[in-house]
Amino acid sequence: MELPTSFKAKYQKLLGDQFPAFLQSFADAPQHGFRINPLKSPATLSVDTSRPIPGLDHAYYGKVAGKTPEHQSGYVYNQEPSAMLVAKVVNPQPGERVLDLCAAPGGKSTQLAGMMQNQGLLVANEINRGRAKILVENLERFGVLNPLILNETPAHLSKAFPGYFDKILVDAPCSGEGMFRKNPEATTYWNPNYPMECAVRQREILMEAVKMLKPGGQLIYSTCTFAPEEDEQIIAWLLENYPLQMVPLPKQKGMSSGQPNWADGNENLQDAIRLFPHLFAGDGHFIAKLQSTATTTPSKIKKQAANATGAERKEWQQFTKDNLLNFPVGSLLRFKEQLYSFNPAIPNLKGLRVMRPGTPLGTLRKKRIEPSYGLAMILRPEQAQRTLAISYEQWQQYVHGDTFATNSTAAKGWTLLLYQQMPVGFGKVVNGTVKNFFPKGLRFQAERKG
C-alpha cells in the first residue's frame, strides 16, 4: 500500500520511535472478527469459535461468509475486532435509553441491542438514506425488539429528544485513517487538511448530541482515525465548552492512552483509549467516554400513542391465536400498511423521518395479516405453533425466492422455517408445498454446500 507522503511525515513526527512498527502494520492483512448473537435461541452453528477475542463476550477472530444460514438468520455478525470494543465502553444496561447517532451499517447498534437484552429503548439513526436502509436490514435480521430507526439530522433529533438519553454513542464520520489497510482507496482522498475538515463536522454533530444527554448521562465518542484533530482535540473542546467530565477507561494489553500533548495538555485526556494496529490486533480506533455534570431538568416530550384501530387489533389477536404461542406484544402502531410493535417511550413521530418505528409484525391485508420477515427474526421456535425443519438445499431455494415441496402431512398455514433450529423466515404450507415469503429485496443465490 502506498501511503501519502504527508501522512507518513505527520505520524513519524507524532510517534517517534514507534513509527517504523506503525508503518509496517499497514502491510499486514486486516484482522477479521465476528460476534454470535445473544438474542437468538440456541442452534447448531457452523462457525469456528476456537479463537475468542479477549475481553469481549460472544466475539471471535475470523470471518463468516455472508451467504450462509448463520449470517442470513442473524445468528452472527461480522465486525472488525477493535470496533467491537466501542460497545463495551458504552456498556448499555437493560432498560436504558440508548442512542446510536451515526449508526450505519449497524455493527455497533446490534452489539448494543445484545447487551441490552432487548430491554429498554435503542434509537439507531443514520443521516444517509441509502445507508439507513442497510441499518434497517441488519437490525431486523439480528432480532432487535422495538428499535426506533431514523433517517435524521442531529439538529432535528435534538429537538425531538431533549435531555432524553442515558447513553449516546457518536461513532463519528471521520478521515478513516484506521481503515486504510481494509480500504486502500481511502488513501486517495486523504490530504493534510482532511482531518480538520472532518473535525468541523464532528463538532457540529456533538453540539446536538450533548443536548440529548440527560443529566448524569454518558456520551461515548469514537473514531476510526489516528488524527489528533479528530480525537484528543475534539475531546479537549468538549471538556472546555460543555458540562462534561472524562470517565477513565481501563486499558488491556495493546491499548494506549489518549495523548494530552496532542491537544491542550489536559491530563484527563489520558483516560481515553487509542488502538494502534502495531500494538493491538485490530484496526485503528479512538474511544472516549464522558459524563454529563449538568443539573438542569429536561423538558418532557410528547409520546407516541398507539394508533391501531379496534379492527386491526382484533386481526392481530386472531393471527396470534392461530399462529403464535406466548408471544406478548404491548403497544400496536399502524405505520403505512404495516402493523408494528413499538416502545411507548418514544416521542411522537410526526415530522421525523422514520425508517422503522419498532418491530414489523405484518402487512395489513383485507381482513387478515401477512406476517413480516421482522417478526420471524424475533421469534423463538417454541413461540410458533407450526415449525418446519428444512434442509440446506431447501434453505437455498427459500433465500432464492423459490417454492419447494415438503412432507404432504405437514400442517397447513403460516409456518416458521428452521434450518438447524435457526429461524430463517416464514413460509406458508399449502398441499405439501411451501410458498415463499422471503422478502424480494433480500433474495440471493447461496453457494452449494461442501
* Rounded distance between C-alpha atoms, residue 150 and residue 421, angstroms: 32
Structure-block grid coordinates of residue 230: 479528530
C-alpha cell at 305: 400513542
State yes or no: 106 annotated in a binding site. yes
**String of DSSP letters for 3-26:** --HHHHHHHHHHHGGGHHHHHHHT
Q: Report phi then psi at 231, rounded to 5.
A: -115, -95
Q: Is 107 annotated as a binding residue?
A: yes
Residues in a beta bridge with 222: 171, 287
Catalytic residue (one of 224, 290, 346, 399): 224
Residue 104 annotated as lining a ligand binding site: yes
Count of C-beta atoms within a 10 Å radius of residue 386: 19
Amino acid at residue number 381: P
Number of other residues whose CB lies within 10 A of the CB of residue 421: 16
Residue 254 grid coordinates: 495493546
Instruction: Supply the DSSP string of 62-101, one letter for each residue.
Output: S---SSSHHHHTTSEEE--HHHHHHHHHH---TT-EEEET
The amino acid occupying position 400 is: H
Segment holding 311, helix H or strand E: helix 310-323
User: d(Cα 284, Cα 275) in Å, to the nearest integer?
Assistant: 5
Q: CB under 8 Å to 101, separation ≥6 — which residues?
A: 125, 154, 157, 168, 169, 170, 171, 205, 209
d(CA 142, CA 133): 14
Give dist(CA 213, CA 247) in Å, integer: 15
Amino acid letter, residue 196: M
- Strand, coil or helix: 176: coil
Edge-to-edge strands, sheet with 338-341: 332-335, 338-341, 359-365, 368-371
Catalytic, 174? Answer no
Q: What are phi and psi of 85, to 5 degrees?
A: -70, -20
57, 406 in Cβ contact below 8 A?
A: no
Pairing of strands 387-389, 97-100: unpaired
Task: Using CB atoms within 10 Å of the CB of residue 367, give its burial: 0 to 12 exposed, 13 to 18 middle, 19+ buried.
Answer: exposed
**Which strand (E) or helix (H) includes residue 375?**
helix 373-378
Binding residues for S-adenosyl-L-methionine: 102-108, 126, 171
Which residues are known to be catalytic?
224
Binding-site positions read: 102-108, 126, 171
